[in-house]
Amino acid sequence: MPPKKATNNENKPVKQEVIIEDVDDSSDSDDSDVSDDVSDDEEEEEEACDQVEKVKDTPKEAKEKIKKMTFDEIYAEIDALIKQEQQLDSEIKIIKENLDALEKNRNATKKSKNKLIGLLPKAHIDGCNKARKEKKKRTNSSKSGILNELPVPPILIKFLEIPENSLMRRPTVFSLLNNKFKELKLKHGQETVLDKKTAKLFGLQEGHKIEFEQHQTFLAKLYADAGIKSEKKISTEVVL
């Protein structure tokens, strides 16, 4: 039986329908968000790197870069630092020793001070009691010094024309001498000028002047030249 001829329908290609579905826009937005986040992270990382580079390039504000050194240079610097450290340790030791000595001396001084302060009250009371017991009542049993009656120098006995072996107080003799100078007109105000006869009697030059403040000295010298000394005779009575 002869074969059947192919029909036109068999030879024609089969038509396939392509269905295009709507893609949800949300997926695209998510992808864009992810990309944006990645870009932001990259920018922040770049900024951080820039900051680090800036700090590295700033010599004063950042840590100094360690310079490259040879073995010998490093060893020499370490040796110098060791010696400096030893010197500082030695100085610190001396300072500590001196400080300990000063503190010891201060403590001893403070102890002595406090001890003396503790003795003050009793010493004050003892001193007052001793002064009270040793208080003396002084009375003159005889006139003394210039108030004592003494022999009159021979040169004055002659000049004043008074009895020999006279005993007089020096103020009395001074008054008689002053009156005699007035009588002889040797007084010129407060000053006395000796004439030739009077000056010769006292062993002085004519015209010798005796100032007002020198009269007591002049009289004292006459007593001293005559070997007459005033003696103080004081008796004391101890009152307990």
pLDDT at 215: 85
Cα–Cα nearest to 198, from 229, 160, 149, 234: 160
pLDDT at 212: 83
Q: In which residue are the tokens 């900024």 written? A: 47
Contact call for residues 195 and 206 (beta carbons, < 8 A):
yes
What CATH number was assigned to the domain covering residues 145-238?
Answer: 1.10.245.10
Instruction: Kindly list the domain boundaries of the chain, sorted by start residue.
Output: 52-134, 145-238
Compute the half-sphere exposure of residue 137: CA atoms within 13 Å on the CB side of its CA.
4
For the purposes of burial, counting CB atoms within 10 Å of the CB of 230, is it exposed (0-12), middle (13-18) or buried (19 or more)?
A: middle
Q: Which H/E stretch holds residue 235?
A: strand 235-238
Compute the half-sphere exposure of residue 72: CA atoms within 13 Å on the CB side of its CA.
0
Contact call for residues 54 and 62 (beta carbons, < 8 A):
no
pLDDT at 103: 92
Contact call for residues 150 and 230 (beta carbons, < 8 A):
yes
List per-residue pLDDT tens for the chain, 240 residues long: 455 444 444 455 544 554 545 544 544 445 545 455 546 666 766 676 666 555 555 555 545 566 788 999 999 999 999 999 999 999 999 999 999 999 999 999 999 989 899 888 888 888 888 887 776 544 444 455 556 888 999 989 889 988 888 888 889 988 898 898 989 988 888 889 999 888 888 888 988 889 888 888 888 888 888 888 765 443 433 332
pTM: 0.38
